[in-house]
Amino acid sequence: MNHACADCAVRESALCASLNDDELSRLNRIGRRQRLAKGQTLQFAGDDSLVFANVVDGVLKLSTSTADGREQIVGLLYPADFLGRLFAVRVDYDCTALTDADLCVFPRAGFEAALNDFQKLERDLLERTMAELDRTRQWMLLLGRKSAEEKVASFLLNIAERLRPEGCTGRSDGPQTYVLPLTRGQIADVLGLTIETVSRQMTRLKSAGVIALPSIREVTLLRPDLLEAMAEAT
């Protein structure tokens, strides 16, 4: 684990960034690395809440289902995000890898106990929780008030922001290409749109020269300035 931390791509942005080397070594005594294959579920809604995790690489979804089996994606986890709810007895959502993923996993009891020793870790976790609450409120605005064009533009900007350190190709001062972790249908579910509407909006953005679509699961941001203007249009 200590060697893995030295080579960790999110060492400076994950929850453990607040710890010094000695503190990190102590935390690692209770942790382990776990790989998830695309489509593999780490935990299911209703399971006992046994682990917490830092996402090192990959993208995961948090989802729930209606009584008749329809899935609703309620959140996405990107590199450096933290998975788990302190002091919860049960898991509220399914957590499934959308891509191959790499996690640092900690047992719930040991991690909660470690918070008593590492006050910086506890403070950072609180700050991240409040930031996640702010993102959720912003997402409520997106779902409730924005048009289809604004929703799709906002989604693509969010993907670019969250994946830029690990998931883009090309020069930092030029067009960036990202592999979308969601299918068109999943994007539609997340945004409260139909798959036809999402496809139509992506085609419009491509025709306008704002994005390019190298493949069905890739998007290149050619004019992020225009995309930002579209996301905030009134």
168-169 sheet: strands from edge to edge: 168-169, 176-179, 218-221, 211-215
211 burial class (0-12, 13-18, 19+ CB within 10 angstroms)?
buried
**Strand, helix or coil at 59?**
coil
pLDDT band at 233 (very low <50, low <70, confident <90, very high): low
pLDDT at 219: 95
- Dist. CA 56–CA 16, nearest whole Å: 11
Q: What are the angstrom distances between the C-alpha of 18 and each of 12, 105, 167, 180, 211?
A: 8, 17, 24, 30, 37
Q: Reduce the DSSP state of residue 108 to 3 states and report it.
A: helix
Residue 34 has pLDDT above 90, yes or no: yes
Residue 203 backbone zone (phi > 0: left; psi -120 to 50: alpha; other: beta): alpha
CA-CA distance, 147 to 89, in Å (whole number)? 39
Domains delineated in the chain: 2-140 (2.60.120.10), 146-231 (1.10.10.10)
Question: Per DSSP, which regions of 66-205 are E strands?
Answer: 71-77, 82-83, 94-97, 101-107, 168-169, 176-179
Position 54: which residue type? N
Torsion of CA 191, 200, 231, 133, to 10 degrees: 10
Using alpha carbons, list the distances in angstroms from residue 171 to 120, 187, 223. Answer: 35, 27, 14
Least confident of 19-23, 67-71, 139-143, 221-225: 139-143
Reduced to 3 states (helix: H, G, I; strand: E, B; else coil), residue 137 is helix
Question: What value does the mean pLDDT of the chain take?
Answer: 87
pLDDT value at residue 133: 83
Q: Do 208 and 221 contact (CB within 8 A), yes or no?
A: no
With a cut of 60, say whether residue 171 has pLDDT above it: no
100-136 pLDDT, tens digit each: 999 999 999 888 888 888 888 888 888 888 888 888 8
Report the chain's terminal Cα–Cα distance, integer Å.
Answer: 49
pLDDT of residue 136: 80
Task: Please state, in angstroms and as integers, the Cα–Cα distance from residue 80 to each residue in 102, 151, 172, 181, 185, following that order.
Answer: 11, 24, 20, 16, 26
